[in-house]
Amino acid sequence: MMKFECATLKGLLECASFNILEGNLYVVVTETDFEKNLLLKVLTVLTRLDSGKVFIFDRDVSSISYSELNGIRKRMGVVLNNGGLVSNLKVWENLMLPLSYHASRNQESTTLSNKNLEDKMINILSRIGYSDDLSVLPGPLPTYKKRLIGLARAMLMEPDLMIYESVFAGLSPDVRDRVLEAVNVFHREKKGRASLFLDSRESFIDDVKAESVYMLKKGRFYERS
pLDDT along the chain (225 residues), means of 10: 97 97 97 97 96 96 90 95 96 88 54 72 91 94 96 95 96 93 95 97 88 96 91
Domain count for the chain: 1
Determine, yes or no, domain membership for 34: yes
Give a yes or no: residue 9 inside a domain. no
Q: Please tell me the predicted confidence (pLDDT) of residue 41.
A: 97
In a domain, 58, yes or no: no
What was the pLDDT predicted at 102?
58
| Residue 62 located in a structural domain | no
Query: Which residues span the domain enclosing 166?
Result: 25-49+67-223
The DSSP secondary structure of 90-120, one letter per residue, reads -HHHHHHHHHHHHHHHTT---SS-HHHHHHH
Q: What is the CATH number of the domain that holds 113?
A: 3.40.50.300
In a domain, 109, yes or no: yes
- The phi-psi region of residue 16 (left if phi > 0; otherwise alpha if psi is between -120 and 50; otherwise beta) is beta
**Cα dihedral sign, 145-195-23-225:** negative
Q: Does the reported pTM lie above 0.85?
A: yes
